Amino acid sequence: MRELKNHLYEQVARIGKAVASPKRLELIELLCQGEKTVEVLAAQAEISVKLASAHLKELRLARLVDTRKDGKYVLYRLAGISVADLWVNLRSAAEERLVELQVALASIVANGDDLEGFDRKAILKKAAAGEVLVLDVRPSDEYATAHLPHARSLPVDELKKRLAELPKNTPVVAYCRGPFCLMARDAVELLRKKGYRAFHLTDGVAEWRAHGLPIEE
């Protein structure tokens, strides 16, 4: 009986071992945005292709990541929504318990930039009514895979030259890949400098879905 219990815990520990790496966690977060090649993942995580491949191999061994062929390319994807939920829950638990993480996150969202006092359903309702403009500042391919309802795609690297497309009299709510992503922060900073009422939504698609809210795919 003890051997069986040991085996059970060992199997669960495989998941713990697979996610016990900052870069593997970042790769999971990136894959929450949709399928990507190892070259794209390496570039976005700012590591070599060789190192990205090694990390992805560990994630595959733990059945957290799957692959599929698309012509000459191999695309990596999460093995299921539960993997995205695992990331959201693990990060949320860390934020709740670790003061160091709380301090680091506070440096991303400055006072007045967040949406304190507005819950997710209220934002959804206001977006549907046209009372706020929800702006997805991730790359357009990630937006095409899945995005928040009523969100408009405007990648952060295109924002400066396309500001004229945004109405000045409507508050803008910018989001990207989640609380650790800096693109929405940069977008809010630029919009405010140009006179827009802009706010930072720290949720990404994975967080929104984890809270039981609809996603457009």
Identify each DSSP E strand in the chain by its residue range: 36-37, 65-70, 73-78, 133-136, 152-153, 172-175, 198-200
Place of tokens 């700012």: 46
What is the set of active-site residues? Answer: 176
* Residue 153 CB partners (closer than 8 Å, separation 6+): 136, 138, 140, 143, 144, 147
Place of tokens 């006179």: 195
